Amino acid sequence: MSRLLIILHLMLVGTLSFWGWQPAAPAAEPGIPVCYTPAMPEEGMKRFALDPAFQALHPAPLPLQYDGQGQNITFKTPDGKDANGYLIKAKRPSDKWLFVYQEWWGLNDYIRRESDNFYKDLGENVNVLALDMYDGQVTSNPQEAGKIMSGTKEDRLVSIVKGGYNYAGTKAQVANVGWCFGGSWSLRSAILGGKNNIGSVMYYGMPVQDVEQLRTLNSDVLGLFATEERISKEVIEQFDANMKKAGKQLTYKIFPGVHGFANPSNPRYDEALTKEAHGMALNYLKKKFKV
């Protein structure tokens, strides 16, 4: 009799599915904001890239034409493809590297300029590499940026990061920094870097919450967050708790500014908060690089 009931149940589910019915998604855990659920461990900020309210937090960058002091490069990635980057070499041979991760617009002139600024601020003896996570796609349109970010493939993003580490070399000491989409990838890059990673600065990026992944970190993390709903105080406190469970240190500050307050391309950035956050980032990186 039980076998007959099972068969009838499967037939009913199959019939309903044919007509478009889908089982309800599991509810989010109590106390966990809808922008972070265990069912989406690796989607990062992709999960709200197409949300008009989130897109509205990113006004189109003002036009910028910048002739950087670095060079555009191409490097191999483990998936057999090529990736792009913007590199400023240290004045003398050095195993110290700063990986810079773009905002959701792509690797544009704002990121090149910010890479040059970090290079100068760190004393010009650290190699600075901005990785092109969009494979050449760049936009200044918020809706288009949302589409590009939501369309990225996890395997490809990971391969670009690993290609960057391969390019830097087996002896490289790598710290990471990024904003928004790049803030998430600063942390992800630190995890992927293993023993080569020495630090991560993440500006309001969605953190990795998986304790087992966080255990593999070879460094502490500096989080520079904003006052917002998606990467909320609750999300950040959960991240802090998970870092403690993993035996890792998170130093963070939630600034009284909106998401993107320190983005290099934001025409409405907060100058005072940006200066404070950059000072924290620079002090952190100088300690890591011992410069």
**DSSP class per residue in 11-51:** HHHHHHHHTT--PPPPPPPTTS-TT--TT-TT-GGGGGTT-
Phi and psi torsions of 259, nearest 5°: -55, 130
pLDDT the model gives residue 2: 46
Residue 185 is assigned to a structural domain of this protein: yes
Q: How many other C-beta atoms are found inside a 10 Å radius of the C-beta of residue 92?
A: 7
Tell me if 132 sits within 8 A of 56, measured CB to CB: no
pLDDT the model gives residue 56: 87
Q: Which residues, at least 6 apart from 206, have a Cβ–Cβ distance to it below 8 Å?
A: 35, 36, 44, 45, 183, 184, 230, 231, 235
Q: Using alpha carbons, list the distances in angstroms from residue 94 to 99, 130, 226, 227.
A: 14, 17, 34, 38
For 196-212, b/e burial (b = at least 16 CB within 10 A) is: bbbbbbbbbbbbbbeee
Mind listing the pLDDT tens digit for each residue in 167-180? Answer: 999 999 999 999 99
The whole-angstrom separation of Cα 118 and Cα 129 is 11
Mind listing the pLDDT tens digit for each residue in 184-235? Answer: 999 999 999 999 999 999 999 999 999 999 999 999 999 999 999 999 999 9
Residue 25 is assigned to a structural domain of this protein: no
Residue 31 is assigned to a structural domain of this protein: no
pLDDT the model gives residue 44: 66
| Alpha-carbon torsion, ordered 57, 264, 150, 27, to 10 deg | -50
pLDDT the model gives residue 16: 38
pLDDT at 7 exceeding the cut of 50: no
Residue 75 is assigned to a structural domain of this protein: yes
pLDDT at 14 exceeding the cut of 50: no
Residue 242 is assigned to a structural domain of this protein: yes
Q: Report the mean per-residue pLDDT for the chain.
A: 87
Residue 215 is assigned to a structural domain of this protein: yes
pLDDT at 5 exceeding the cut of 60: no
Token pair for 50: 């197409």
Residue 194 is assigned to a structural domain of this protein: yes
* Closest-CA residue to 133 (of 153, 109, 113): 153
Owning domain of residue 78: 49-62+69-289
3-state secondary structure 127-167: EEEEECCCCCCCCCCHHHHHHHHHCCCHHHHHHHHHHHHHH
Structurally, the chain folds into a number of domains equal to 1
Mind listing the pLDDT tens digit for each residue in 20-62? Answer: 343 333 333 332 222 333 333 346 677 788 889 888 888 999 8
Give pTM, 2 decimals.
0.85
Mind listing the pLDDT tens digit for each residue in 66-85? Answer: 999 999 999 999 999 999 99
Residue 137 is assigned to a structural domain of this protein: yes
| CATH assignment at residue 93 | 3.40.50.1820
Q: Which residues, at least 6 apart from 84, have a Cβ–Cβ distance to it below 8 Å?
A: 72, 73, 74, 107, 132, 135, 136
Classified as helix, coil or strand, 171 is coil
Mind listing the pLDDT tens digit for each residue in 111-120? Answer: 999 999 999 9
Share of the chain above pLDDT 70, in %: 85
pLDDT the model gives residue 48: 82
